[in-house]
C-alpha cells in the first residue's frame, strides 16, 4: 500500500479513536533518537521475508493452530505470539512489538525486532535497547530510521510488512472476534481495534495481496 493511501486510512482510525497526532509525533521522534544509526535496513528485512511467509497473530487458540505451520517459510510474529512460538520450539524470523508484551521473554528470542512507536507507548520505547537487532516503525509519516509499512495493531502490521515486500502470506493465530485477554487492557477497545485489523487486511486482499487464511476464527 502506498504511503499516501495509508495516511488517508490512518486519518480515519485517528478520528475513530480520538488519537492526538502530536503524541504520535513525539513517540516517533523519541524512537528515532533511541535508534540512531543502529537499525536494520530495508534490504535486510526484504531478504528475510522472501516470497512466502507465515504471519502469526496472538489469538487465544494459537497453541492449537501451530499444527498448520507445515512449511519451512519465514515467520513474522506479533508481539507475545513470538513467546508462544518460541516456547513451542519455533523461533520467528521477525517480531513486531509495541513493547507492551513480555519484554523480558521477548528479549531472549534471537529475531529481528520491529519496534513500533505510537501515541501512548513513548514511556516504553527505551526498552527497545533490550533488542540488539531491530528497526523502528510508526503509523504516521516516516523518518529516516523509522519506517511506515502500514498497519495498526501488532497483528495486521505484520501482514502489512509482508505485503510491502510482495510476499504470499499464510495467516496463523488470527481471531477477530475473541481477543486473548491481557491484564490492564480494555476488552471493548481491543475488540474495536480487531475490527479495524480485519478491515485493513481485507483492504490488502482487495488490492491484490495473496493471503491464505489458515483456520480463521
> By C-alpha distance, which of 55, 42, 88, 37 is closest to 213?
55
Report the pLDDT averaged over residues 64-79.
Answer: 95
DSSP 8-class letter at 143: B
Residue 31 structural domain = 3-213
The answer on pLDDT for 184 being more than 70 is: no
136: three-class secondary structure by DSSP:
strand
pLDDT at residue number 216: 61
Average pLDDT value for the chain: 95
Q: Let me know: does 92 contact 63? Beta carbons within 8 Å.
A: no
Domain count, the chain: 1
Separation of alpha carbons 109 and 86, rounded Å: 7
pLDDT tens string 127-163: 999 999 999 999 999 999 999 999 999 999 999 999 9
Separation of alpha carbons 124 and 150, rounded Å: 21
46: three-class secondary structure by DSSP:
helix
pTM of the model: 0.96
Separation of alpha carbons 179 and 73, rounded Å: 26
pLDDT-derived band at 181, boundaries 50, 70, 90: confident
pLDDT tens string 6-43: 999 999 999 999 999 999 999 999 999 999 999 999 99
- Cβ density class 63-83: b for 16+ within 10 Å, e for less: eebeebbeeebbbbbbbbbbb
Q: Let me know: does 87 contact 80? Beta carbons within 8 Å.
A: no
pLDDT at residue number 174: 95
CATH code of 127's domain = 3.40.50
Residue entry with cell 535508534: 35
Residue 40 C-alpha cell reads as 536494520
The answer on pLDDT for 185 being more than 80 is: no
Where does residue 205 rank: exposed (0-12), middle (13-18), buried (19+ CB within 10 A)?
A: middle
77: three-class secondary structure by DSSP:
strand
Amino acid at each position: 500500500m502506498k504511503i499516501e493511501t495509508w495516511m488517508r486510512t490512518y486519518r480515519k482510525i485517528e478520528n475513530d479513536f480520538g488519537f492526538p497526532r502530536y503524541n504520535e509525533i513525539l513517540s516517533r521522534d523519541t524512537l528515532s533518537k533511541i535508534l540512531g544509526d543502529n537499525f536494520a535496513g530495508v534490504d535486510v528485512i526484504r531478504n528475510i521475508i522472501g516470497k512466502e511467509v507465515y504471519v502469526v497473530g496472538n489469538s487465544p487458540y494459537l497453541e492449537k493452530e501451530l499444527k498448520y505451520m507445515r512449511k519451512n517459510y519465514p515467520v513474522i510474529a506479533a508481539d507475545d505470539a513470538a513467546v508462544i512460538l518460541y516456547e513451542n520450539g519455533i523461533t520467528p524470523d521477525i517480531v513486531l512489538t509495541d513493547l507492551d508484551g513480555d519484554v523480558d521473554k521477548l528479549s531472549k528470542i534471537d529475531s529481528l525486532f520491529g519496534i513500533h512507536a505510537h501515541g501512548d507507548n513513548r514511556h516504553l520505547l527505551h526498552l527497545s535497547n533490550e533488542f540488539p537487532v531491530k528497526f523502528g516503525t510508526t503509523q504516521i509519516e516516516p523518518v529516516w530510521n523509522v519506517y511506515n509499512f502500514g498497519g495498526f495493531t501488532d497483528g495486521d502490521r505484520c501482514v502489512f510488512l509482508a505485503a510491502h515486500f510482495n510476499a504470499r502470506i499464510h495467516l496463523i493465530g488470527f481471531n477477530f472476534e475473541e481477543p486473548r485477554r491481557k491484564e490492564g487492557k480494555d476488552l471493548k477497545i481491543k475488540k474495536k481495534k480487531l475490527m479495524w485489523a480485519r478491515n485493513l487486511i481485507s483492504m490488502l486482499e482487495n488490492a491484490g495481496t495473496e493471503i491464505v487464511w489458515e483456520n480463521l476464527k
